[in-house]
Amino acid sequence: MEFTSLGNSGIQISKLALGTMTFGEQTSMQEGHQQIEYAHDKGINFMDTAEMYSVPGRKETQGSTEKIIGNWFSKNPSKRKDWVIATKATGPSPLFTYISEDLRFTPSRLTTALEGSLSRLQTDYIDVYQLHWPERKTNCFGILGYDLHDAEWSDNFETVIETLNDFIKQGKIRHWGLSNETPWALMRCREIGNARHWNGPISIQNPYNLLNRTFEIGLAEMAIRENIALLAYSPLAFGLLTGKYHKGLDKASDRINQFSRLSRYNGERSKIATAAYLQLAEENQLSLTQLALAFVKSRPFVTSTILGASTLDQLKVNIEAAEYAISPDIIEKINAIHHLNPNPAP
């Protein structure tokens, strides 16, 4: 397993991360534990979760993912030190008022969220505590253009960052990061951190895959020059980039089929682009999974690629596929497809 630095934290993390958002929904506790153990055996030391997981978010399953991870740690307490754990505080959304009526990142709300995650994870500290999505209305989760300027939102990043730094001083978190964020927010947080001599964000967790390369527009250069770790999620676009949907090998229980609300990758342009990438993979005796994961892993601004699998068999396939080293010639052909059909699933 390859390792790399997590931003400027001094922490070494595996280039592949274990995503867990299916734990408690599509993936049982026993199966989740099997995935954790297999990933650990393969040298993966970075695991990502969130307060709101499992996905799709429901009151009945909220926190179940963290509980499954915490249960594993309770059975394997000596292995907590082997893992770098990242979790997230839920942002404002009418879909998640069952977590809290007020999901703004106030000091009291962040404190409650953090204490809940620590309890469910059965740990004394979290390595990377992330803000799951922006508090303000802005471009994320597939929204392009800029029609959502939030004139009512007041810039509270200074208070948020001070609160997160208080958590660091208390020993409850080691570092913090952003998720589903924009270039403006990343640089605003860096600006405040530098001016106040506070710990700024060490990471940003945004989507990045063959169907969504919007991170390259502004954020990629920042990630490299500011030493901010991109934790790339959805590298297989909810399974679309495995090719199983195009080959008719999908099942009713697969994510895109089961959860119609999660429609980010269902558009016609996504299907056309996926067909082109599938053809390219087959022409080079590769699986589409190999092509998709190798591309993401090869990008110089990607620190770790988050692999989310519903089953242990899927995880095994993904880890093996990610070992493929992509050639410059194939990257050139990927870019040609991207040029004709850019970012069909932002």
- 53 catalytic? Reply is yes
3-class SS of residue 305: strand
Q: Is 77 left (phi over 0), alpha (psi -120 to 50) or beta?
A: alpha
- Active-site residue identified among 38, 53, 98, 324: 53
How far lies 316's CA from each of 2, 22, 39, 45, 177, in Å?
Answer: 16, 16, 9, 16, 28
Q: Are 91 and 131 in contact (CB under 8 A)?
A: yes
Asked if residues 34 and 313 have their Cβ atoms less than 8 Å apart, the reply is no
Q: Residue 21's Cα: distance from chain center in Å?
A: 9
- Partnered with residue 126 across adjacent β-strands are 173
Could you please report the per-residue DSSP string of 20-60? -TTBTTTB-HHHHHHHHHHHHHTT--EEE--TT-SSS--TT
| Amino acid at position 330, single letter | I
CA gap 184, 217 in Å, rounded: 12
Looking at the annotation, which residues are catalytic? Answer: 53
